[in-house]
Amino acid sequence: MFAFTVRRILQAIVVMLVISFIGFAIKHNFGDPVRELVGERVTPEERAQIRERLGLNDPFLVQYSRFLVDALHGDLGRSFFFKRPVTEVILSKAPATLELVFCASLIVILLSVPAGIHAAIYPRRLLSRFIMGSSIVGVSIPVFLTAIMLIYIFSVELGWLPSFGRGETVLLFGFWESGLLTKDGLLHLIMPSVALSSIMLPLFIRLVRSEMMEVLESEYVKFAWAKGLQPRRVWYVHAFKNTLLPVITVGGVQLGIMVAFTILTETVFQWQGMGSMFIESVSRADTALMVSYIVVVGAIFVVVNTMVDLIYGLVNPTVRVAGRQ
Amino acid sequence: MRTRWQRIKDSAFLYHFLRDPVAYVSFAILMVLTISAFAAPLIAPHNPYDPTTIDIMDAELPPAWTDEGSRTFVLGTDEMGRDMLSTMLYGMRISIIIGLGAVFLQAFLGIVIGLLSGYIRRLDNILMRIADVQLSFSTYMIAIFIGAIFQTAFGVANYEKIAAPLLILIIGLAEWPQYARTVRASVLAERKKEYVEAARVIGLSKLRIMGRHILPNTLSPVLVISTVQVANAIMSEAALSFLGLGMPLTKPSLGSLITAGFEYIFSGSWWITILPGILLVLLILVINLLGDWVRDYLNPKLYKG
């Protein structure tokens, strides 16, 4: 286990280095730190002076190592548009995205587990067929289209729900702007989180169902039936417990992938989170902000995946051996 | 002697195909959609690329079956006065071309990398690590990142000029690991078999063994994932276009049509965005259903639900 952990962490570090290298290469080639610092109205001579002082004429690798050291100290540069350090900008936008992902995962978990179990236990029932049928339709609808249709039905036609923004927010602990505590904020949350969860829901239902069906075929479940246990006990205590492990590990990775879909959902609903910030930074050519979003989200992914792998290795020893060859 | 036509007629494939209504209905719909998309210049009532035929006074007309609808524009017009039906047909053609192109590119990259990593052990570790890492990020995210980087690199105006080949490149680069993994898995199974052994004993070169002997035997799983990958690629293209990283409005794909119409939904002009949306969903849905059927048919063991 120790060797596995070390190898997995080393791999994570290498991946982070690669991501930061790509990020730096973009910044180095397309970004203009002088513009980020002083704006456009500076004479070429002053510009050259600033370039020299900032060390922008140093060799590439020297600059890259400086970028790495700064990044480790939490300094990823300044945003040209916001006139603030990018880490500050990203931290101020993060709560909105995290709350959205949290609510969406809540919906996914609460709906997919019962639906998946039902479809696995009674595969021939009408409701199960309906669940599986709608899940393949669900996979085929792009997330932004779901969002647009929700807006059209519930905001434009019915006028029940607000169509954009986060509504009223409350400041928690001095930095966390939460929309979870006000009625207005919660109303604004409903459609974005439903839209975001719609993309993961079909995948999770299929996952829970197929794992559950596999477990129901296994020897120990047959033995439990043979002992004459109550059906409920066999399903929920014996079988369900063992479907949880793959669901949690695959689910962990999938929930990380939701971060990618927040880019789309947030753009539709003008949700002031990291995703819409990223798209805006691309269209404003705010290179520093764009690169740091890539680095930060890359880091989130690497950490989540490493943790999931380690947990999986802890529970399932064959993974640890297979990697070694 | 049986003719080829008879062989096809008697095959198990056709037998199963014709007995599964989901399969043949989705195949029929897909055929109708594809043919009408590629025949767009012939069958579309208007030409959305020709600015002289467009009249801004026709903008935002609702579909013909509503009260204010006009006979000339069956599905209404968009915000520039282009006929929705024609624009959608042309848009679907672009979506399908980009989807197919991207799948060809990812299949090419994936097959080459999969063969190399399955047959040459020294390369295996590094290539599969790269694929693992890329798969652990979502393909959407990679596509969005690459798109953003390209747009920064080329500038918005240049990006729009070469958007179609760029999108093929972006989606191809983002999704090759699926293929590489599939090909590698079957190469690992094939390389132990005797015919490969024999080819090696004769003294054939590695390149020839990989290309002429192993490759043909790894193609059926590649076909299986290709159908679903086309749907995925079309969806990625729509998502990129929606974010402004895709096709420009002058040459819209289905995704950019949806984006363009989105603003007008608040003034009640639902058809500009909902109609291309429905077409996109229909297209992806039939490809997915067909893909599921092909997978189940070619590999009953894989069938899980």
- pLDDT band of residue B53 (cuts 50, 70, 90) is low
* Res A33: pLDDT: 65
Q: Which residues of B touch A312 (CB under 8 A)?
A: none
The minimum CA-CA distance between B245 and chain A, rounded to whole Å, is 9
How far is B237 from B253, CA to CA, in rounded Å? 8
User: How confident is the model at residue B55, as a pLDDT?
Assistant: 66
A15/B152 Cβ within 8 A: no
Q: Does A261 touch chain B (CB under 8 A)?
A: yes
Distance CA A81, CA A54 (A): 20
- B17 and B24 Cβ atoms separated by less than 8 Å: yes
Q: How many CB pairs under 8 A join A and B?
A: 110
Give the domains, in start order, of chain B with CATH numbers.
Answer: 36-44+77-297 (1.10.3720.10)
Residue carrying the six token digits 């590649």? B222
Residue closest to A208 by CA, chosen among A128, A146, A142: A128
Q: Percent helix, strand and coil across chain B, each rounded to 5? A: 75, 0, 20
Distance CA A131, CA B287 (A): 20
**pLDDT tens digit sequence for A289-315:** 888 888 888 888 888 878 877 877 777
The pLDDT value recorded for residue B105 is 92
Q: Which residue has the higher pLDDT, A167 or A209?
A: A209
Average confidence score pLDDT of chain B: 80
Q: Is the pLDDT of residue A262 over 80?
A: yes
CA A119, CA A107: separation in Å to the nearest integer? 18
Residue A299 in contact with partner chain B when CB distance is under 8 A? no
Which residues have C-beta within 8 Å of that of residue A255, sequence separation ≥ 6?
A: A101, A105, A200, A304
B109-130 residue pLDDT tens: 988 888 888 888 788 778 887 8
Interface mutation target, options B22, B124, B126, B137, chain A, most CBs of A under 10 Å: B137
CB of A144 less than 8 A from some CB of B: yes
- In a mutational test of the A interface, the residue from B33, B122, B259, B262 whose CB has the highest number of chain A CBs within 10 Å is B262
The complex scores an ipTM of 0.76
- Hey, of A145, A155, A198, A292, which one would you mutate to test binding to chain B, going by the most B CBs within 10 A of its CB? A145
pLDDT, average across residues A83-98: 82
Contact B152/A264, CB-based, under 8 Å?
A: no
Contact A297 B129 (CB under 8 A): no
Query: The tokens of B104 are what?
Result: 């060809």
Kindly list the distances between the CA atom of residue B56 and the CA atoms of A85, A324, B51, B258, in Å, as whole numbers in the listed order.
Answer: 46, 66, 10, 19
- Minimal Cα–Cα distance from A174 to chain B, Å? 31
CB contact under 8 A, A148 and B258: yes
Mean pLDDT value of segment B281-294: 86
* Share of residues in chain A with pLDDT > 90 (%): 0
CA distance A118 to A106: 19
Burial of A180 (0-12, 13-18, 19+ CB in 10 A): middle
Q: Do the chains contact at B258 and A156, CB–CB below 8 Å? A: no
Give the number of other Cβ atoms within 10 Å of residue A257's Cβ. 19
Q: Choose among A214, A287, A301: nearest Cβ to B137.
A: A301
- Residue-averaged pLDDT of chain A: 79
CA A207 to chain centre: 19
Least reliable range by pLDDT among A50-54, B130-134, B173-177: A50-54
Angle B271-298/B21-38 helices, nearest 10 degrees? 130
For residue B151, the model assigns a pLDDT of 79
What is the pLDDT confidence band of residue B303, given thresholds at 50, 70 and 90? very low
**pLDDT tens readout for residues A8-49:** 888 888 888 888 888 888 777 776 666 666 666 667 777 777
Distances (CA, A) of B4 to B7, B9, B10: 5, 9, 10
* Residue in A62, A102, A41, A32 with CA at minimum distance from that of residue A273: A102
B interface toward A at CB cutoff 8 Å? 129, 133, 136-138, 140-141, 144-145, 148-149, 151-153, 156, 231, 235, 238-239, 242-245, 255, 258, 262, 265-266, 268, 270, 273-274, 277, 280-281, 284-285, 288-289, 292, 304-305
Higher pLDDT residue, B4 or A225?
A225
What DSSP state is assigned to residue B301?
G
Enter the pTM of the model.
Answer: 0.81
Closest approach of A314 to chain B, Cα-based (Å): 19
CA B246 to chain centre: 15
Which pLDDT does position B199 carry in this prediction? Answer: 87
CA dihedral B15, B20, B25, B28 (to 10 degrees): -20
What residues contact B190, with CB distance under 8 A and at least 6 apart? Answer: B196, B214, B217, B218
Task: Report the gap between the CA of A85 and the closest CA in chain B (Å).
Answer: 21
> Who has greater pLDDT, B303 or B205?
B205
In sequence order, the 6+-apart residues with CB closer than 8 A to the CB of A35 are: A80
The answer to whether the beta carbons of residues B34 and B290 sit under 8 Å apart is no
Cβ–Cβ contact A320 with B under 8 A: no
List Cβ neighbours of A75 (8 Å cut-off, separation of 6 or more).
A85, A87
Mutate to test the interface with A, among B141, B151, B170 (most CBs of A within 10 A): B141
- Is A253 touching B (CB cutoff 8 A)? yes
Residue B36: pLDDT above 80? yes
Q: Are residues A278 and A290 in contact, defined by beta-carbon separation less than 8 angstroms?
A: yes
Q: Do B288 and A30 touch (CB under 8 A)?
A: no
Q: Which residues of B263-292 are buried (b: 16+ CB within 10 A; e: fewer)?
A: ebbeeebbbbbbbbbebbbbbbbbbbbbbb
The residue of chain A nearest to residue B148, with distances taken between CA atoms, is A282
Classify the phi-psi angles of B76: left when phi > 0, otherwise alpha if psi is within -120 to 50, otherwise beta: left
> Tens digit of pLDDT for each residue in A233-244?
888 777 787 777
Q: Is the pLDDT of residue A58 over 50?
A: yes
Residue B38 pLDDT greater than 80, yes or no = yes
| Residue A38: predicted pLDDT | 66
Interchain proximity A260–B244, CB inside 8 Å: no
Question: Which domains are delineated in chain A?
Answer: 13-85 (no CATH), 95-324 (1.10.3720.10)
Residue A140 contacts B, CB cutoff 8 Å = yes
Q: Nearest chain A Cα to B240, which residue?
A: A264
